[in-house]
Chains A and B, each alone.
Chain A
Amino acid sequence: MRPPSPTPSPTAPPQEVPETFGPDAFRVLAREVLRLEIADERLEPLRSLVNGLNAELAPMTLVDLDGVEPDVAFGLDPEGWPR
């Protein structure tokens, strides 16, 4: 379930993965905002993964979602709550 490999093979077509997060911004977000306690050497693979994930979400921005409600499983008990 992971996004495309951040290091495609030389035979792969050139794929520019847009960077949602540069190294510095990512470090601040991971360390200061999300308070992740992960080693420095693990930050870069995670950053590549997150940037790849954001790139894969891009097609959603091309859809007109005006008036579309999220499809979430939410419904009140039709028989009411127990008394």
Chain B
Amino acid sequence: MIDLTQTNAREVARRVNAGEWKAVEVARSALGRIEVHDDRLRAFITVTAEQALADAEAVDRAVEAGRSFPMAGVPLAVKDGFWTEGVRTTNGSNALLDFVPGADAEAVARLRKAGCLLVGKTLMHEYAYGFTSQNPHFGDARNPWDPSRVPGGSTGGGAVALAAGMALAAVGGDTGGSVRQPSALCGVVGLKVTYGRVSRHGGIPLSWSMDTVGPMARTAEDAALMLSVMAGADPKDPATLPAPALPDPIAADGSGDLRGLRIGVPTGFFFDLAGPEVAASVRDAVEVVRGLGATIVEVPFPGPELARAAHRAIIFAEAAAAHESTARTPANGLSDEVRNLLLAGLFLTGKQYLDGQRVRRVVIDQYRELWRSFDVLATPTSPIVATPIGEQEAEAAGQKRPLVQLYLDHTLPFNLTGQPALSVPCGFSSSGLPIGLQLVGRPWDEATLLRVGAAYQAATHWTDRVPPGLDGAGS
């Protein structure tokens, strides 16, 4: 068995293409870890063992015939809100228990065509409308670093699968932080792409004007590899049509030189609310980036209140419109919590929704001006580490605050503005819980974020750590 906590997607693809490893061997290793650990960690709603082995055999046959694939033999976990051909897609809810799509979501189709092996559909917060991945239908996903704590969400299962070595690539969705926040809490890498960079086709919507589909991986280089496969124009999603091309390669190998790059470090709420260990880790990360040649610029950055207000107006109205009939249908398997969230949007007025979209323009204009003085903003992805399952509040800056604000206020502004943002591991608390560094860029500038992330990662090795009890091929 191959220990998938000790390798990465790029290495797997290289070895499978070179004939050193068989894709079937990689698939069996991933499935073995799922079998051993998933009862405890609940990363998956559906495990697709037969599909993974069939995909792997096809890759092995093609490689033997002389073909190669950018992601040959890489085990892939897909959030259960994205269509998978012939595999049920529940969106984390009993309301969609019998939904079996006839096609893959475009991003999933591209990854599978590139050689990925679908090992399963990951557990998520129901309808992606939450941030803990506590799920009343399929159980609570658990943080591999401390299973009594949440992994974050809504793409919690994907982050768990990566941290536990059950997969080396995961597809997530990010409308308010649902790729970045679980990545930070589980110690993996997550990229929220620019709105329009990756096709949303086959993703069950939450908010049409803010939903994004993004790669999650164990390293920044793997996230770059996934992005190179997933990105690009798709006639089935008009938002992708104006996207400029990504550089090729997206992040050059071994380039740790960040000279000429200006990193903005915000004053105000991003650090004011952060716990001391989180703030210290992120500030240490900024110093590492300075040591790699970047210039550090202190930036007065506005608080989250306005962005949060507009984000709420938009997401509640759009989610209600997208799922009104489901929310109105009684006893259809939807939880009361998510039904209420969906119905709440029906009480907003058209003016409130449009004012949200108008404020969005105001916030974008604000941020566009701010970005003149720096290239990449560096913040904590989350001001707190993973909280115990079941909690609704946590203490920050001396006050109990609702988790919905603590977990999302650092990430949702960039869904509102459409900007790309990357979360990379940047340390651990004294209790052994991961801390994430968020890097935010100008629209379409994922490449710079991935370059900084890869350089930082090479200088620090936080991504080499494995959760307790999960190291070793057989564990």
A72 to chain B: which residues have CB within 8 Å?
Answer: 209, 357
Q: Which residue of A lies closest to B239 (CB)?
A: A73
Q: Do A49 and B340 have beta carbons less than 8 Å apart?
A: yes
Q: Do B209 and A3 have beta carbons less than 8 Å apart?
A: no
What interface size band does chain B fall in? 35 or more
Interface members, chain A 43-63 (any B CB < 8 Å): 45-46, 49-50, 53, 56-60, 63
A4 to B401, CA, bound (A): 8
A45 to B400, CA, bound (A): 22
Indicate whether A65 sits within 8 Å of B359 (C-beta atoms), given known contacts A5-B392, A56-B308.
yes
Report the count of interface residues on A (CB-CB < 8 A). 35
- Interface: B36 (CB within 8 A): no
* Most chain B CB atoms below 10 A, which of A9, A45, A68: A68
A38 to chain B: which residues have CB within 8 Å?
Answer: 330, 343
* Total number of residue pairs linking A and B with CB closer than 8 Å: 112
A13 to chain B: which residues have CB within 8 Å?
Answer: 399-400
Interface members, chain B 315-374 (any A CB < 8 Å): 315-316, 328, 330, 336, 340-341, 343-344, 346-348, 352, 354-362, 364
- Shortest CB distance B306–A (Å): 5
Q: Do B347 and A50 have beta carbons less than 8 Å apart?
A: yes
List the one stretch of B50-58, B402-410, B419-427, B447-455 in contact with chain A: B402-410
B400 to chain A: which residues have CB within 8 Å?
Answer: 8-9, 11-13
A56 to B306, CA, bound (A): 9
Q: Do A46 and B306 have beta carbons less than 8 Å apart?
A: no
18 A/B residue pairs, CB under 8 Å, sorted by A: A1-B129, A1-B316, A2-B129, A2-B130, A4-B404, A12-B393, A13-B400, A34-B346, A36-B346, A50-B347, A53-B347, A53-B348, A59-B309, A60-B359, A63-B359, A71-B358, A72-B357, A73-B238
Give chain A's interface residues, CB within 8 Å of chain B.
1-5, 8-9, 11-13, 21, 29, 34, 36-38, 42, 45-46, 49-50, 53, 56-60, 63, 65, 68-73
